[in-house]
Each structure stands twice: as structure tokens, then as C-alpha cells.
Amino acid sequence: MRNCIVTLMDARRRRFADVGARGGHVPKDRKPGADEERNGRNRMSKRITAVAAASALLLAAACEDRPQTPVGDAGPRPAAAGEAAPGDHWRELADMPFDGGYPTAETSQRLFDELDFQRAVQVYLWALPAMNIDAMRRGSEAVFGAGNHVLPVWKDRLNSRTRVTTPNSDVVYAMSYLDLTDGPVVVEVPPRLQGLFDDFWHRPIADVGLVGPDKGGGGKYLLLPPGFDGAEPPGYFTFRSATYRVFLFWRGFLVDGRTDDAVELIEQTRVYPLGTKDAAPEMVFPNASAEPADMLLPHDASYFRMLKEFIDLEPVDREDFAMRGMMATLGIVRGEPFEPDARMTRILDRAATVAWKIASVQRYERRVPGTKRYEDRQYDEGFIGGSEVFEGDTYLNLDTRTAFFRFAYSSSPGMVVDMVGKGSKYPLTFKDAEGHFLMGGKSYTLHMPKDIPAENFWAVTLYDAPTAAGVAKPGQMIPSVNSQESLEYNADGSIDLYFGPDLPAGAPASNYIGTNDGEGFFVVIRLYSPGETYFDKTWRPDDVVELR
């Protein structure tokens, strides 16, 4: 009890000092009269008395509920899961004073701050799919240029200088951000290419390639903008986008470990406005491997400025009216100025940071049902829920949606379909065999049994926990190994891979991926054209084991 009384006294001293400073304030350019001085002292005395009484009630209640700390104990015991902790945030809000049913000025300000903060957090999480792809667009265009004719290609594979969430460094990427505001756009797709179109809410428009309508033969895709009511010409694979911007994402495969064939194939792509092919600008294919690019999301108030620009461009969907109402509370309204003052900017900054951490918890922990892949191992599903649009039977699964776009981008039916020999699968782990998060200052090994079920190829890639971009270790451009490289296998056909800040003694350098001390990381196994034993779970990778 003594500790609680000391806490109460400290709290009262701080509160009285604050009230005294406010109650005794007069402008510097005049002196108070006798009556004014006396009235000021009376008002301050009443405030102090009221605060003392309220503080006594609040702290007494907290003392009642708080487990007392025995003499010599290290500190107060933590509250049980779901139990209100002493002085917790929710209790403070619940106990904000109302005088005769009306809020005090302090109560009103505190609750308005809380309302704005909560709405900002939810707006951040809701907009994550759109802001994820828009951050990629901004980062790309800042380095490689803008325009439908610009298609950056990672001609020497995507390395750790490109800061983007969970990229695949073992294929050749090409990504661009088409603009349909001036009308329909044609994309000529070469044969044998794999890719997709998503709108800027990351909703699938079409798969391209073997699982798309061209069946791997290539062809002309026609993308129609929102509200287009013109005639649809024949001879195209025609799709309508719900947003004016469209994400174009191609993947080409290595041949004998080389990128040349994939790059040559991708550079056959042509993009131009419908009916103006001959007058369209010549295609440009910058080598994105050669330049660093930051394509990651911000975690501060700038996120909301990005969102404002986004909603000013894109059409209004009545399904989003409730969330747009939350944005309006923050001053974000389509077509109106967004000029947050210092108070709102501070709230938006804090909300963005908290929202990012909430999204991280949703991905790195397993509260969402169906996250864990194996009962006896630490692996999770890369795509939780089995829906490329994150829909349950009767609701939008906001938790799986947030978890995914916290650490990844692009969504398509081909990513969730379970077909032997088709598409790709991504078992991943954030934890070692003992359930501890993987940390870059420690050394680990991963054993994968023989006959890895990947008819095309497999790869293992490391990503940093703070951003989900590839681990950027000095001297290591590609944080992955793949089955097309010269790796060292065990006599029985299995393979051991090694992770850590330094190459463990006795480990082959070909099987090693470096990590950074002080930085968490996670492991993604990619299986291209997965085999039957992946789906029936008769083949499963061992857990990552710490080397001691």
C-alpha cells in the first residue's frame, strides 16, 4: 500500500503544479487587481481541491486493484492477459470526469484526441493495400521516371538496394504503374511471360501467362478505366479497372542461372493508348538493378498526405463511405484542402507508428486462425485465408488483409490456388525451433529433406523484420540461395542452409546467407510449381535451429 500512496502523492504534486501554473497565469503586460487576484486564488484552490479528490478516488481504485509489491521484489507483477493494468489507458479514459453529465474542458479535449487517434490508426490500416502500392510507385518513379512507356526491369536480379517488401531475388522482375486517366490502355504481352495486373487497391484485374487468358501464348490486353462507356473493340483480352492507376507486374525465369533470356522476353512488352500505337512514346526499360530505390511505406504523418493525394485521384466507391467518414474526421476529404495543424500532425505521427506496429503484430504473431501451416513446426502460411481479395463468407477479413500488406504486395487468384505443378507456394517462418524470433546476431541452420517439391525450382530468401525488405548486409547483394545455383547437398539428397552474422565454421559458403547483428529477420521458402508432397504435407522442412 505504501508504494501506491507514494505514487498518489507524486501524481498529485505533478497535477497541482500543472493546475497552479494554469490557474495563476495572467498576461505579462498587466498586473491583476485585488479582486481578480483573490478570485484567481479561489478558482485555483477549487481546482486543486477537485483534482485532489478525483486523484484520490482514481489512485485509491488503482491501489485496490493493484497487486502489492513485497519488500525486496523487483517490481509490480504484470497484469494477467486481458486484465486491466494499474493506471491503464482504457481506465483513464473511462474515468474522465463529467460534471452533472457534461464533460469538463479537459475531458472533451482528451476524448477528442483519443477519437482522432483511433480513427487515424484504423484509416492507416484500412488504406494499407493502396498505400503499399502507391509507395512503390513513388519510389520507382523518383528513380526510374514516370509514364506508361517506362517499365523498370531488374536485369541483374533484384538486390538488397531495392527496398521493397519481400521481393523475389531469384527471378527477373519488371514492375510499372499504368495511368488510365486519359483513357483505355493496351498492353502487348509477349509469350511465356508470367505476371498480373492489379488495381491500386491491390484487387486482382487479371493474371497473365499460363494461368491467365492467354495461356502462355501472349497477346493484347486492353485495360478500361473507371466509368468507361465506349465500345469495346474485338481482338483483345479486355478488363475493366476500378482505379485509374494499375499495377503491372511481370516475372521472368532464369535460364542456367542467367537473366538474359528473361530480360529479352520482358523487353518485348509494349504499352500505349488505345488506337495510338504509332504515336505513343518509345518504350524505356531502365535497369533497376543498377540504382538504389526506396519503395517502402512511411510510418509518419506523410502517410496521410499520400492518402489524400490518392483519394483525390481515384473514384469514390460507396462501399468505402464509412472509412471516408473516418478520414473526414482527420480533415481528409476528396477535393478539399488537407492542412493539419500541429495538434493533428502530432496525432497522425503517433497513429502511423502505432498502426505500423499493430500490422507487424498481426503478421508476426498467430492470432489469425489458419496462420500456422504445420502443427509440429514453426512455419506459417504466406497467404492466409485462401482468398486473393481477403473475403470470408460474410465479411472482409481485415486482419489477414493487414497482415499480408504489412510484409508483401501483389495479389492474384494464382497465388491462392492449390494446384499441383501450378503457381508457387511460400511457407515461411519468423521463429526458430524453440519458438523464439530469429535474430541476426545469432547463427542458425535450416535442414530441408531430399526431394524438395518444386518442379521448376526452389529458393530460400531472408528478409529483415523491421521493413520486410531483403536483408541488406554489406557485401551481400542477394540475400538468397536457389536450386539453380551450385549448392552443396548431403549424401542423401537433403540440404543444410546456414544463416548468421558470419559464416559458421565448417559450413559451405554456397549454402550461407548473412544477417545483421541487432536486426531480426525471417525466412521464406519459395516453391515454384509445387509438387504433391507439399500439399499433402508428407514433405515438410525442418525448423530453423539455433547453432550454439
Domain enclosing residue 64, as ranges: 2-95
What is the mean predicted confidence (pLDDT) over 34-56?
42
Q: What angle do CA 142, 480, 525 make, to 5 degrees?
A: 110
In whole angstroms, give the CA distance from residue 138 to residue 152.
13
The dihedral formed by the CA atoms of 291, 296, 300 and 304, expressed in degrees to the nearest 10: 110
pLDDT confidence of residue 84: 53
What is the mean predicted confidence (pLDDT) over 200-216?
92
- Same domain, yes or no, for 306 and 242? no
- Same domain, yes or no, for 402 and 522? yes
Note whether residue 376 is domain-resident: no
Note whether residue 29 is domain-resident: yes
Note whether residue 102 is domain-resident: no
Note whether residue 365 is domain-resident: no
- CATH number of the domain enclosing 119: 1.10.3360.10
- Same domain, yes or no, for 187 and 273? yes
- Same domain, yes or no, for 460 and 538? yes
- Same domain, yes or no, for 308 and 268? no
- Same domain, yes or no, for 144 and 219? yes
- Same domain, yes or no, for 174 and 112? no
Note whether residue 446 is domain-resident: yes
Note whether residue 519 is domain-resident: yes
Closest by Cα among 333, 332, 330 to 347: 330
Among residues 294, 324, 345, which one ends one of the domains?
294
- Same domain, yes or no, for 240 and 167? yes
Note whether residue 384 is domain-resident: no
pLDDT confidence of residue 391: 87
Note whether residue 32 is domain-resident: yes
In whole angstroms, give the CA distance from residue 548 to residue 418.
38
- Same domain, yes or no, for 234 and 344? no
pLDDT digits (tens, 9 = 90+) for 223-261: 999 999 999 999 999 999 999 999 999 999 998 889 999
207 burial (CB, 10 Å; 0-12 / 13-18 / 19+) is buried
Among residues 255, 275, 294, which one ends one of the domains?
294
- Same domain, yes or no, for 20 and 49? yes
Among residues 269, 294, 319, which one ends one of the domains?
294
- Same domain, yes or no, for 332 and 453? no
pLDDT confidence of residue 79: 53
- Same domain, yes or no, for 10 and 56? yes
Spell out the SS3 assignment of 241-293. Answer: CCCCEEEEEEEECCECCECHHHHHHHCCCEEEECCCCCCCCCCECCEHHHCCE
Domain total of the chain = 4
Query: Comparing 220-224, 379-383, 426-430, 507-511, which segment has the lowest mean pLDDT?
Result: 379-383
- CATH number of the domain enclosing 472: 2.60.120.600
DSSP helix/strand/coil, 123: helix
